Amino acid sequence: MDSNLRNTQLWLAFKSGDSEALGQLASEHYRVLYNYATKFTKDRELIKDCIQDLFLYLWDQRENLHSSPFVTIYLLKSLKHNLFKKLNQEKKWVLDDFDTESPFSENTNIESTIIALELFAENEQKVRSVLNNLPRRQQEVIFLKFYETLSIEEIAEIMDMNKQSVSNLLQRAIHNLKQNWQLAVYLLYYLYFNVRLQ
Partner 1 sequence: MFDYKNFSANDFAMDAFFREWVLKPTPDASAFWKNWLWQNPEKSEVIEKARKIVITLKNAQEEISEDEIDVAVAQIVAAANQRGAQPKPVIRPIWSSTNMIRWAASIIAVLGLTWYAYDYWGNRPSELYTQTVATVVSNPKMLETFNKSSEPMVITLPDGSSVILQPKSRISYPAQFEDSVRAVVLSGEAFFEVAKNPQQPFLVYANELITKVLGTSFTIKAFANDSQVKVIVKTGKVWVYTAKDAQRPQAIEATAQATLVPNQQITLLREKLALQKANISAQMMRELPSIQTQSFEFKHTPLSEVFQMLESTYHVEIDYDQQLMSACELTASLGDEPLPEKLKLICSVIEATYEVQEGKVVIHGKACN
Return the number of the residue (105 or 132) whose C-beta is nearest partner 1. 132
Rounded to the nearest whole angstrom, what is the least distance from the CB of residue 107 to partner 1 in the complex? 22
Q: Toward partner 1, which CB reaches closer, 60 or 160?
A: 60
**Residue 68 Cβ vs partner 1, minimum distance, rounded to whole Å:** 17
In three-state secondary structure terms, 92 is coil
- Residues at the contact surface with partner 1, assessed by CB under 8 A: 1, 17, 19-20, 22-23, 26-27, 30-31, 34-35, 38, 48, 51-52, 55-56, 59-60, 114, 117-118, 120-125, 127-128, 131, 143, 146-147, 149, 186, 189-190, 193-194
Residue type, 90: E
For the bound state, the minimum distance from the C-beta of residue 55 to partner 1, rounded and expressed in Å, comes to 5
SS (H, E, C) 144-182: HHHHCCCCHHHHHHHHCCCHHHHHHHHHHHHHHHHHHCH
List Cα–Cα distances, 44 to 18, 38, 134, in angstroms. 28, 8, 20
Residue closer to partner 1 by CB (options 132, 179) is: 132
Would you say 94 or 114 has its CB closer to partner 1? Answer: 114
Helix (H/G/I), strand (E/B), else coil: 18: coil
3-class secondary structure, 29: helix
To the nearest whole angstrom, how small is the minimum distance from the Cβ of residue 7 to partner 1? 13
Residue closer to partner 1 (CB basis): 41 or 172: 41
CB 110 within 8 A of CB 189: yes
Whether the Cβ atoms of residue 183 and residue 119 lie closer than 8 Å to each other:
yes
Closest distance to partner 1 from the beta carbon of 2 (Å): 8
